[in-house]
Amino acid sequence: MSCEHNHEELLPEFAKVGQKVPEFSLEVYDPTEGGFGVVDLGTLRKEGKWTILFFYPADFTFVCPTELADLAAKHKELVDLGAEVISVSTDTKFTHLAWKNDERLLADVKFKMAADPTGEVSRFFDVWDYDSGLALRGTFIISPEGVLASSEVNFFNVGRNADELVRKMKANHYLKDHPEEACPAKWNPGDKTLTPGEDLVGKVYEALND
């Protein structure tokens, strides 16, 4: 089953950036272990991990394997930042296994592939498409405290860029230890940050170019 959480509490409202995400579990196919298992958000929190949920429409489709291959190329960087990466679709864990074995673009995929066949978790993250029964292309970063830090949703026909996911993950990782600061556009580690306050009003150019 997709979730072991009490969904009477989970489903009435959608996940919102800046708010805590209820704990839930998903069945997965784990390419690293070569078998099935369960990923549990509560366990990841206890381990102090960030969680990245990478929703996509369906296995055995067209844009999806290119996205998962791109994500696989950045997987180690995300793991090194303390993140557990989990791809999610409404396919079953058995379909994930078959797709991983058949599609050569997925050869380097090592992250867990979660099954949400009832769409419960997809609906909670507001990526469920009611006409098709599939999930849109949604990427969500959840902090070790369980707070939804980042949300991105694309329609079916536009693939994502894992480079930007890594950049956002690095920024969120930095800000966890520097909550008084803010990261400007295109920020990467080593770039200047901003410290919001009355002295910065109308003076952002000067702060970034001193």
State how far the Cα of 173 lies from the Cα of 49, in Å rounded to an integer: 11
Q: Active-site residue among 10, 41, 44, 64?
A: 64
- Judge whether 148 and 142 are in contact, CB under 8 Å: yes
Give catalytic status of residue 64 as yes or no.
yes
Q: Residue 36: beta bridge partners? A: 29
Catalytic residue list: 64
